[in-house]
């Protein structure tokens, strides 16, 4: 059973918001004593995914949560936008493909950095991505 | 302008030590400032120290790689120094490679790598 200890809802409407969300993720990871590697991993994933919300999703929200399974703490980050959705999810998750000037590694790279990665996307409706990073055992 | 990121000159090498979190706007103006500084100072080498970074996402990585490519076009070699272990691990785990750039553990090593330039 995973319980939510605290949660923070942040807007992702402009480039400065990406910096704010990334900073908050780093702060929470350090607060919950994730090691430097796990902290860098979740902070980077949050940075990539909030940038995706801005660039591909035309803005949206980020929900950052401190979570616990009773033994360990983790950070969960959920990103939601009402953008165009991802029409070829397989290709987007494979990486190296970009519709904009970014590297095309945001989605695939973030997935490799976290312990859990869920995505729901509907063309024309939007995208929801949820990731978790936990203290190492 | 990137007033809070000084660009220093040592011999014919420029040294940029980035100690602040790079927003997109600052990152792009830093590129321009560094290129202008190369032209003004006739630099042959560029060292970018990122030991102050605990996170480098693919956007910032690309800014740095592009900066090195641009400097190369102006005849200056770039060495990025001081990448922290967690940043190196994160970039490689994401599948990101910066093949066009040289790296050094610290400033000493970076300047040594550019030694042929400094000797002039």
How far does the CA of residue B70 sit from the closest CA of chain A (Å)?
17
- Cβ distance B55 to A37 less than 8 Å, yes or no, reads no
pLDDT range class, residue B113, cuts 50, 70, 90: very high
Would B2 be classed as within a structural domain?
no
Q: In DSSP terms, which residues pair with A127 in a beta bridge? A: A81, A121
pLDDT range class, residue B4, cuts 50, 70, 90: confident
B24 three-class SS: helix
Task: Please give the residue of chain A at the shortest CA–CA distance from B95.
Answer: A109
Cα(B74)–Cα(B71) distance, integer angstroms = 5
Closest CA to B77 of B49, B42, B106, B101: B101
Cα(B22)–Cα(B11) distance, integer angstroms = 27
CA dihedral A133, B89, B18, A100 (to 10 degrees): -80
pLDDT range class, residue B118, cuts 50, 70, 90: low
**Residue A116, pLDDT above cutoff 90:** yes
Closest CA to A44 of B93, B70, B56, B32: B56
Cα(A69)–Cα(A2) distance, integer angstroms = 4
Chain segment A48-82, per-residue pLDDT in tens: 999 999 999 999 999 999 999 999 999 999 999 99
Task: Please give the residue of chain A at the shortest CA–CA distance from B55.
Answer: A40
The reported pLDDT for the residue numbered B97 is 83
- A10, A25, A62, A116, B33 from A48: Cα distances, Å: 15, 12, 12, 16, 26
A38 three-class SS: helix
* CATH number of the A3-134 domain: 3.30.565.10
Residue of A18, A19, A113 with shortest CB distance to B94: A113
- A83, A116, A117, B34 from B26: Cα distances, Å: 27, 32, 31, 12
- Cβ distance B25 to A15 less than 8 Å, yes or no, reads yes
Task: Please give the residue of chain A at the shortest CA–CA distance from B61.
Answer: A103
The reported pLDDT for the residue numbered A38 is 97
Q: Are B39 and B14 in contact (CB under 8 A)?
A: no
Count the helix, strand and coil residues of chain B and give each as a percent rounded to the nearest 5.
Answer: 45, 20, 35
**Residue B119, pLDDT above cutoff 70:** no
The reported pLDDT for the residue numbered A99 is 60
Here the CATH number for the domain that contains residue B35 is: 3.30.750.24
Q: What's the mean per-residue pLDDT of chain B?
A: 89
The reported pLDDT for the residue numbered A123 is 94
Domain range summary for chain A, segments of one domain joined by +: 3-134
State the average pLDDT over residues B100-117.
88
Length of chain B in terms of residues written: 120
Cβ contacts (< 8 Å) between B58 and chain A: which residues? 48, 102-103, 105-106, 109
- Cβ distance B90 to A39 less than 8 Å, yes or no, reads no
Would B88 be classed as within a structural domain?
yes
**Residue B63, pLDDT above cutoff 70:** yes
pLDDT range class, residue A137, cuts 50, 70, 90: confident
Would B14 be classed as within a structural domain?
yes
State the average pLDDT over residues B80-92.
96
**Residue A87, pLDDT above cutoff 80:** yes
Cα(A74)–Cα(A26) distance, integer angstroms = 12
Token pair in block for residue A60: 């949206």
Query: What number of other Cβ atoms are within 10 A of residue B65's Cβ?
Result: 20
Chain segment A2-49, per-residue pLDDT in tens: 999 999 999 999 999 999 999 999 999 999 999 999 999 999 999 999
Radius of gyration of chain A (CA): 14
Distance between alpha carbon B115 and the CA centroid of its chain, in Å? 16
Range of the domain at B66: 7-118
Residue of A22, A96, A113 with shortest CB distance to B93: A113
**Residue B1, pLDDT above cutoff 60:** no
Cα(A62)–Cα(B52) distance, integer angstroms = 26
Token pair in block for residue A77: 């980050």
How far does the CA of residue B65 sit from the closest CA of chain A (Å)?
12
Per the structure, the count of domains in chain B is: 1
The reported pLDDT for the residue numbered A9 is 98
Q: How many CA atoms lie within 13 A of B26 on its CB side?
A: 15
């Amino acid at each position: 059973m995973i319980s939510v200890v605290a949660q923070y809802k942040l807007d992702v409407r402009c480039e400065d918001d990406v910096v704010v969300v990334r900073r908050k993720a780093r702060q929470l990871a350090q607060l919950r004593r994730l090691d430097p590697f796990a902290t860098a991993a979740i902070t980077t994933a949050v940075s990539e995914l909030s940038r995706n919300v801005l660039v591909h999703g035309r803005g949206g929200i980020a929900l950052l949560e401190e979570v616990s399974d009773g033994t360990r703490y983790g950070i969960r980050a959920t990103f939601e936008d009402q953008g165009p959705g991802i029409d070829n999810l397989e290709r987007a998750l494979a990486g190296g493909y970009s519709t904009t000037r970014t590297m095309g590694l945001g989605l695939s790279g973030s997935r490799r950095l976290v312990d859990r990665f869920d995505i729901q996307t509907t063309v024309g409706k939007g995208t929801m991505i949820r990731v978790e990073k936990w203290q190492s055992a | 302008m990137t007033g809070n990121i000084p660009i220093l000159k040592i011999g014919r090498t420029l040294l940029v030590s980035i100690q602040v979190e790079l927003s997109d706007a600052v990152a792009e103006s830093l590129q321009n400032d560094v290129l202008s500084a190369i032209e003004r100072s006739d630099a042959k080498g560029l060292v970018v120290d990122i030991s102050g970074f605990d996170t480098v996402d693919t956007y910032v990585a690309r800014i740095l790689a592009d900066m090195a490519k641009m400097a190369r076009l102006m005849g200056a070699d770039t060495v990025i120094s001081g990448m922290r272990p967690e940043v190196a691990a994160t970039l490689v785990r994401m599948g990101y490679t910066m093949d066009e750039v040289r790296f050094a553990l610290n400033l000493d090593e970076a300047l040594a790598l550019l030694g042929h330039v400094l000797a002039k």
